[in-house]
Structure 1
Amino acid sequence: MVIGSFPVGKLFMFGLKRVSKPVGDLLMWMGKHHPFIRHYVIMPPAQLYNVFEVRSKMRMLRLKQPRRIPRLTPPIATRLGADMLSEAIVVAIGLGLIYYEVSKSYKNDQKKQQQVEEERRALDERVDRISDNIERQEHDINCIKAAVKN
């Protein structure tokens, strides 16, 4: 894993794993004490994961697909669902941090590009003024040469 070579990356990943444990415990507690949350928030992702896992394993083993997959028991489904939701929260936090950093660097790049454009515009204006001065001076020189010849 590439992130293993960076100590800051290791610390960040360790911190994310440490944060997911209390979140999972909180979800477990809520699943035990609040039936609505258990039945409508925590258990459905676990049951869906179980269905996908069993079907994919059967497909990889090239076995016949079962018509009906047995449901997980409520304690197992609650634990699996709480773990999945805590990991999803950690991933969402990580993606949010990545989005924040990318948008911040994009804004900085935009500011730098705008400064370069302003500098280029200022240089173009200076070149235009210098070329106008040169044309005026050439006209004056031509007028002086014509006056000297006469």
Structure 2
Amino acid sequence: MVIGRFPVGKLLIFAMKRVSKPFGDLLMWMGKHHPFIRHYVIIPPAQLYNTFEVRSKLRMLRLKQPRRIPRLSPPIATRLGADMLSEVFVFCIGLGLIYYEISKTYTKNQKKDQEIEDQKRALDERVDCIGADVERQQKDINWIRAALNDFEK
């Protein structure tokens, strides 16, 4: 695994797991003391996960699919739901950090591209000025040549 070579990465992953622990404990406490949160926030994802897990395992074993999957008991579903939501919390933090880094890189690249465009525009203006100077000098040379031709005649 690549992360094993980077101790800082291991440290960050460990810190993220440590941050999710209090959040999971808070969800467990809320699941025990607030029936609304338990029944509408914590238990439904756990029951859905259980249904998908059982069906996928039976499908992998090529066994007959039951019509009804037995539901988890409330304490087990509460624990599983709290663990899942705490992992989702960590995942969202990770996504937020990735989004922040990408947006920072994007703005940095935009700034660099804008500087390059400004430099190109400045160079184009200088080339246009030089072109105008060359045309003016060419007219002066032609005028001097015409004057010399008139003077020689």
Please give the TM-score of this superposition, normalised by the length of structure 1.
Answer: 0.97
Please list every run of 5 or more consecutive structure 1 residues that lacks an aligned counterpart in the other structure. Answer: none
Task: Give the match for residue 102 of structure 1.
Answer: 102
Partner SS for 2:119: helix
The CA distance in 2 between the partners of 1:145 and 1:85, in whole Å, is 88
Alignment coverage as a number of residue pairs: 150
1:14-47 CA deviation, whole Å, 9 max, x = no partner? 1111111111111001111111111111000000
Task: Give the match for residue 92 of structure 1.
Answer: 92
1:119 maps onto 2:125 in alignment: no
Please list every run of 5 or more consecutive structure 2 residues that lacks an aligned counterpart in the other structure. Answer: none
- 1:1-150 mapped onto 2 (5 Å cutoff): 1-150=1-150
Partner SS for 1:146: helix
Task: Please tell me the residue identity of whatever aligns with 2:116.
Answer: V
1:33-89 CA deviation, whole Å, 9 max, x = no partner? 111111111000000000000000000000000111100011100000000000001
Please give the TM-score of this superposition, normalised by the length of structure 2.
Answer: 0.95
Partner SS for 1:23: helix
Identical amino acids, percent of aligned pairs: 75
Deviates more, 1:139-148 or 1:54-63: 139-148
Q: After TM superposition, which residue ranges in structure 1, 4 or more long, deviate above 6 angstroms?
A: none
Give the CA RMSD over aligned residues. 0.8
What is the Cα deviation at residue 3 of structure 1? Answer: 2.5
